[in-house]
Amino acid sequence: MELAISRIIVEQYLRKLRDCLDLDVALVGAGPSALVAARELAAAGLRTAIFERRLAPGGGIWGGGMLFNELVVQSDALPILDDFSVGHRPAGEGLHAVDSVEMAAGLIFGARRAGAVLLNAVTVEDLMVRPDRVTGLVINWTPVVREQMHVDPLTVSARAVVDATGHPGEIARLAASKAGLRLDSPTGAVPGERSMWAERGEIDTVENTRRLCPGLYACGMAANQVHAGFRMGPIFGGMLKSGRKVARLILDDLRA
Task: List residues near ligand 48H by CB under 6 A.
Answer: 28-34, 51-54, 59-60, 123-124, 164-168, 170, 220-222, 231-233, 236, 239
Neighbours of 195 (CB within 10 A): 7
Q: How far is the CB of 222 from ligand 48H (least distance, A)?
A: 6
Which residue, 8 or 196, has its beta carbon nearer to ligand 48H? 196
Rounded Cα–Cα distance for residues 158 and 162 (Å): 10
Which residue, 24 or 52, has its beta carbon nearer to ligand 48H? 52
Which residue, 170 or 204, has its beta carbon nearer to ligand 48H? 170
β-pairing verdict for 117-120 and 70-74: unpaired
Residue 124, Cβ density class (10 Å: 0-12 exposed, 13-18 middle, ≥19 buried): buried
Rounded Cα–Cα distance for residues 112 and 91 (Å): 30
Q: How far is the CB of 118 from ligand 48H (least distance, A)?
A: 11
Which residue, 24 or 170, has its beta carbon nearer to ligand 48H? 170
Residues in Cβ contact with 64 at an 8 Å cutoff, skipping those fewer than 6 apart = 70, 71, 100, 234
Which residue, 108 or 222, has its beta carbon nearer to ligand 48H? 222
Q: How far is the CB of 26 from ligand 48H (least distance, A)?
A: 11
Q: How far is the CB of 3 from ligand 48H (least distance, A)?
A: 33
Q: Give the single-character DSSP code of 191.
A: -
Among 123, 179, 183, 133, CA closest to 154:
123
Q: How far is the CB of 34 from ligand 48H (least distance, A)?
A: 6
Which residue, 133 or 167, has its beta carbon nearer to ligand 48H? 167
Q: How far is the CB of 57 from ligand 48H (least distance, A)?
A: 7
Among 189, 177, 180, CA closest to 218:
189
